């Protein structure tokens, strides 16, 4: 796991090369909507891509993590089916619905049933390297989302330079990122973690939560601001001193949201002294979000090491899949 987290910047650059070499059919269109279907380590790339592309996207981009697709999917829809293994049953079910509705389907996978289906039906597909836990291959699945969105006329091509610059930043600041992650881990171990950010970067919170769940074997939750100011903030009346807050922040966050964060901190401080602000670094939204993702991945690994647990072990998920496989 440590080697795979260490490799994240290199993976981003390799993913760019894969995307540049991908052969996709004529885009057709225009498209009225984009739906990404995927789960876990395969689905989070869609959420990150959607939030990074939202300012320039020429149509709505929505991410579904289930067996079904929204009713509006039709022949004017672009559906990106993303499953690292290619055998995720929920994604296969959603992919089948997309085809039945006449949507344009693009598959991002390393193999499995979905790749076989894509080849058999002549669907556009991009193959990414296989053989590792899906959550460690985020770079590959994430980057391909942008190539697909660009090919089909949803976004421009500025993402390539931004991702390359972000990868350079992560390589250059690797030791500083690891040190910051270790310092943060020391403040989180033994605590109940709560993660916040501005709504525009909520996917970074989700990624961090997923990594802490799987790698560190720790329950935690997240929310976004300003939405949590309309509900969860009241729930803090039932908080206790063992809660540790991590707030992912960007200098570019909306000025009213930054005011809200300062007020929120004053509320949190009534119940806990464990409040941690983590400021992003980088000259673009891509760099800033990838910086926080990489730092969060390191925290999840260091936390696992502190606990003495295997960050790669996911026996309970395998048990669940095994039980489901018994019922056809």
CATH number at residue 72: 3.40.50.10490
- Same structural domain, 184 and 149: no
Arithmetic mean of pLDDT over the chain: 96
Q: Does the residue 107 lie in any domain? A: yes
Query: Which one from 25, 179, 241, 321 is the annotated catalytic residue?
Result: 321
Q: Does the residue 74 lie in any domain? A: yes
The predicted pLDDT at position 45 comes to 95
How open is the CA angle 181-184-185, to the nearest 5 degrees?
85
The predicted pLDDT at position 247 comes to 98
Q: Does the residue 183 lie in any domain? A: yes
Active site residue 214: yes
The predicted pLDDT at position 312 comes to 92
The predicted pLDDT at position 184 comes to 98
- Same structural domain, 124 and 10: yes
- Same structural domain, 283 and 225: yes
pLDDT in tens, 155-200: 999 999 999 999 999 999 999 999 999 999 999 999 999 999 999 9
Q: Is 146 helix (H, G, I), strand (E, B) or coil?
A: helix
- Same structural domain, 102 and 212: no
The predicted pLDDT at position 7 comes to 96
The predicted pLDDT at position 290 comes to 98
Give the single-character DSSP code of 289. Answer: H
Round to whole Å and give the CA distance between 189 and 186.
Answer: 6
| Confidence band of 5 (pLDDT split at 50, 70, 90) | very high
pLDDT in tens, 96-105: 999 999 999 9
Query: Which one from 230, 251, 270, 323 is the annotated catalytic residue?
Result: 230
- Same structural domain, 48 and 191: no
- Same structural domain, 143 and 209: no
Average pLDDT in the 194-220 region? 97
CA proximity to 208, closest of 172, 255, 245: 245
The predicted pLDDT at position 82 comes to 97
Chain Cα centroid distance, residue 164: 18
CA proximity to 24, closest of 139, 141, 148, 166: 148
- Same structural domain, 26 and 140: yes
How many folded domains does the chain comprise? 2
Q: Return the bridge partners of 127, or none.
A: 109
The predicted pLDDT at position 68 comes to 95
- Same structural domain, 159 and 179: no
Among 137, 164, 191, which residue terminates a domain?
Answer: 164
- Same structural domain, 136 and 208: no
Average pLDDT in the 50-74 region? 96
| Confidence band of 294 (pLDDT split at 50, 70, 90) | very high
pLDDT above 70: percentage of residues in the chain: 100
- Same structural domain, 156 and 28: yes
Q: Does the residue 319 lie in any domain? A: no
Active site residue 125: no
Q: Does the residue 32 lie in any domain? A: yes
Q: Does the residue 91 lie in any domain? A: yes
| Confidence band of 251 (pLDDT split at 50, 70, 90) | very high
Q: Does the residue 312 lie in any domain? A: no
Contact 102, 128 (CB under 8 A): no
pLDDT at 328 over 80: no
- Same structural domain, 177 and 155: no
The predicted pLDDT at position 279 comes to 98
Find out whether the peptide bond into 226 is cis, omega within 30 degrees of 0: yes
Average pLDDT in the 231-239 region? 97
The pTM score is: 0.96
| Confidence band of 86 (pLDDT split at 50, 70, 90) | very high
Average pLDDT in the 62-78 region? 97
Q: Which residue has the tokens 């991702």?
A: 163
Give the single-character DSSP code of 230. Answer: G
Average pLDDT in the 64-76 region? 96
What is the span of the domain harbouring residue 198? 173-307
Q: Does the residue 96 lie in any domain? A: yes
- Same structural domain, 283 and 232: yes
Query: Which one from 47, 90, 214, 223 is the annotated catalytic residue?
Result: 214
The predicted pLDDT at position 147 comes to 98
Contact 95, 66 (CB under 8 A): no
């Amino acid at each position: 796991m440590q080697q795979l987290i260490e490799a994240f910047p290199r993976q981003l650059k390799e993913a760019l090369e894969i995307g540049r070499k991908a052969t996709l059919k004529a885009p057709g269109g225009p498209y009225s909507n984009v739906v990404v279907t995927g789960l876990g380590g395969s689905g989070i790339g869609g959420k990150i891509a959607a939030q990074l592309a939202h300012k320039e996207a020429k149509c709505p981009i929505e991410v579904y993590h289930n067996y079904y697709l929204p009713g509006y999917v039709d022949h004017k829809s672009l559906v990106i089916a993303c499953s690292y293994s290619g055998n995720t049953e929920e994604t296969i079910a959603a992919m089948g619905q997309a085809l039945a509705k006449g949507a344009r389907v693009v598959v991002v996978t390393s193999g499995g049933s979905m790749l076989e289906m894509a080849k058999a039906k002549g669907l556009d597909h991009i193959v990414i390297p296989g053989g590792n836990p899906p959550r460690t291959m985020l770079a590959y699945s994430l980057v391909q989302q942008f190539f697909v969105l660009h090919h089909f006329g949803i976004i421009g091509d500025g993402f390539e330079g931004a991702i390359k610059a972000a990868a350079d930043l992560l390589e250059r600041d690797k030791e500083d990122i690891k040190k910051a992650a270790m310092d943060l881990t020391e403040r989180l171990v033994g605590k109940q973690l709560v993660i916040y950010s501005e709504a525009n970067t909520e996917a970074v919170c989700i990624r961090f939560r997923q990594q802490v769940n799987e790698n560190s074997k720790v329950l935690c939750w997240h929310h976004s601001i300003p939405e949590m100011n309309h509900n969860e903030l009241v729930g803090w009346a039932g908080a206790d001193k063992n809660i540790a807050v991590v707030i992912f922040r960007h200098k570019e966050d909306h000025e009213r949201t930054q005011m809200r964060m300062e007020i929120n901190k004053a509320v949190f401080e009534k119940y806990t002294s464990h409040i941690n602000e983590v400021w992003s670094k980088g000259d673009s939204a891509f760099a800033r979000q990838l910086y926080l993702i990489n730092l969060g991945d390191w925290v999840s690994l260091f936390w696992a090491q502190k606990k003495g647990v295997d960050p790669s072990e996911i026996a309970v998920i395998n048990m669940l899949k095994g039980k489901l496989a018994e019922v056809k």
